[in-house]
């Protein structure tokens, strides 16, 4: 199981939002590349980057910052946020991003997801962000009118091998990860799942590790490692 430290980028800075609310932002660093190096130095094997401005704008907005992170570390990074066309995908992968995360477009244009998977294989993953089991799109501001499990099954049919599942109601809250929903999604879809949203402590890592066999590929840790509630080194040790 992989621990993915999250670096959420807004206006070129490393920030965290509460439940995806852009009005509830905490800035953790003016230099995201330095934060990336910190997590790498603590043993991180993979970084999860989100272009928050891109998610709202519908097109990548912070690629210069993303490139600075890629240049600063030796570990792979994945990127989501506003990647909605084949050109966006090609540009992002061309920067050196290991894999792209498709979100809103998975709901609106599943054929593009299929095309991207055919061309880039495992370098394409899908992010399913849900509130009470219903998918949200456009930076979590709009309902996608589809259940998370149904979308996951559709994405598997389109060729997707990995899904990042975020429980929006827990994101940034430190209330604990939704282990049951994550496990159910993995079992019902047959797709590898990366858990996200609400990770509080080492207990969450242990709980996910216990159900890893159901198809849990990893877990994204954000606020918990920034606030010191979760020891990243200890989390990585347990995950392995």
Catalytically active residues, by annotation: 8, 129
Asked whether the beta carbons of 60 and 81 are under 8 A apart, the reply is yes
CA distances from 181 to 80, 184, 197, 219 (A): 22, 5, 12, 13
Residues with Cβ < 8 Å from 33, sequence gap 6 or more?
65, 68, 69, 71, 72, 73
Query: In 3-state terms, what secondary structure has residue 25?
Result: strand
CB 33 within 8 A of CB 68: yes
State the Cα–Cα distance between residues 10 and 54, nearest whole angstrom: 9
Question: Do the beta carbons of residue 206 and residue 240 sit within 8 Å?
Answer: no
| CA 35 remoteness from chain centre | 17
- Could you tell me which residues come within 8 angstroms of residue 146 by beta carbon, excluding any fewer than 6 positions away? 107, 134, 135
């Amino acid at each position: 199981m992989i621990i993915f430290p999250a670096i959420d980028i807004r206006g070129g800075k490393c920030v965290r939002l509460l439940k995806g609310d852009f009005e509830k932002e905490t800035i953790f660093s003016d230099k995201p590349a330095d934060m990336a190096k910190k997590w790498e130095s603590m043993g991180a094997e993979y970084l999860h980057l989100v272009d928050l401005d891109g998610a709202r704008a519908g097109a990548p907005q912070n690629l210069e910052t993303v490139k600075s992170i890629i240049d600063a570390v030796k570990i792979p990074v994945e990127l989501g946020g506003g990647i909605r066309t084949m050109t966006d995908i090609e540009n992002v992968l061309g920067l050196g991003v290991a894999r792209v995360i498709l979100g809103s477009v998975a709901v609106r244009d599943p054929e593009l997801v299929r095309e991207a998977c055919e061309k880039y294989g495992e370098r394409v993953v899908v992010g399913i962000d849900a509130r009470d089991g219903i998918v949200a799109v456009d930076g979590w501001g709009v309902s996608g009118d589809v259940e998370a499990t149904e979308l996951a099954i559709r994405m598997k049919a389109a060729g997707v091998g990995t899904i990042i599942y975020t429980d929006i109601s827990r994101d940034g809250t430190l209330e604990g990860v939704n282990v049951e929903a994550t496990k159910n999604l993995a079992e019902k879809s047959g797709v590898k799942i990366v858990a996200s949203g609400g990770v509080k402590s080492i207990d969450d890592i242990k709980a996910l590790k216990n159900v890893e066999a159901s198809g849990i590929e990893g877990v994204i840790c954000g606020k918990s490692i920034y606030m010191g509630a979760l020891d990243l080194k200890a989390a990585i040790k347990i995950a392995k």
